[in-house]
Structure 1
């Protein structure tokens, strides 16, 4: 029992003694003890119930997070080559934020037998006056650019890709150049360097394999 509780009980004892002068002291003490015991038991019960409620909420949260992660991984497995290498944190977070986009990508854009390998969010400079925000995607068959609205799809054959390089685009941004035949494709507003190198090297590797 804490000091504060002892003081409270001492004050209570004084009031009880004053208010119960004409009653049997033993009965009064018994009633007071019973009341205090019940009060402590109720306090312990509430504390236990609160603890159990916190545990249950944590269990529900953990279960929900596990379910959400599984849903993300199911979509991720369609747009990233999980058989060859682990998914990156970047890929997981992008799919988590844009689940509907990637789900529709695999269901409506990919051809039969086509699987995604990796991707990166960027801006595609289609022309000097037209810039599209979306994702550059490397698949088992080709490279694609699909805008965020799923309306503008650009297809690039690996056989036609001659080189892939990256460049600094401002203070924090990076960009990719893809030499596509006689054209230089530019993808900028890239903020994750490792993911940029990941997709750049993969596209370059696929292009070399197809041209060999």
Structure 2
């Protein structure tokens, strides 16, 4: 992974870092906590300009996010509802509640979502489904990504050869987010199963 990133930046420079970040949006297993600090470290060695790295990685974030926005837009509301109707334990009302939340808080969700592990990429899809204005989505994504990218690029720049420490600490935060998501899913499943059992008991009376 690291060798591939180094080779990409050796060949393309800062645009290579931007390309890697764009791919990270589409393929989350390519972690930004590796790409960005490594880019900052490379800049600290004088092989790339720091400002160029920040600009290109932010551009890469926006391009990757727009691609996923397009996926959401192609999916659309009707297809999303149709898929939800076929999923066990999921109700159409769940999607409608999510829509209502996104209509009220969509801008803040897109902006801050760009700074939360795992959700950084996924948040683009509901934005596309809800057809958030493309310009608004692009500006919010660019602003959130600029903050996230600058922090991690600068961390790699300052830490130098110890840039990999960033991955360690972000990995802890990512695990916390995953744990919260898993607990939320388990609670959701538990509540739905309880509701289903109550419904069966009520129908028998």
TM range (shorter): under 0.3
Higher strand share: 1
* Bigger-Rg structure (1/2): 1
The structure, 1 or 2, with the larger RCO (C-alpha pairs under 8 Å, 6+ apart) is: 2
Q: Which one has the bigger helix percentage?
A: 2
TM, length-normalised to structure 1: 0.26
Q: TM-score, normalised by structure 2?
A: 0.27
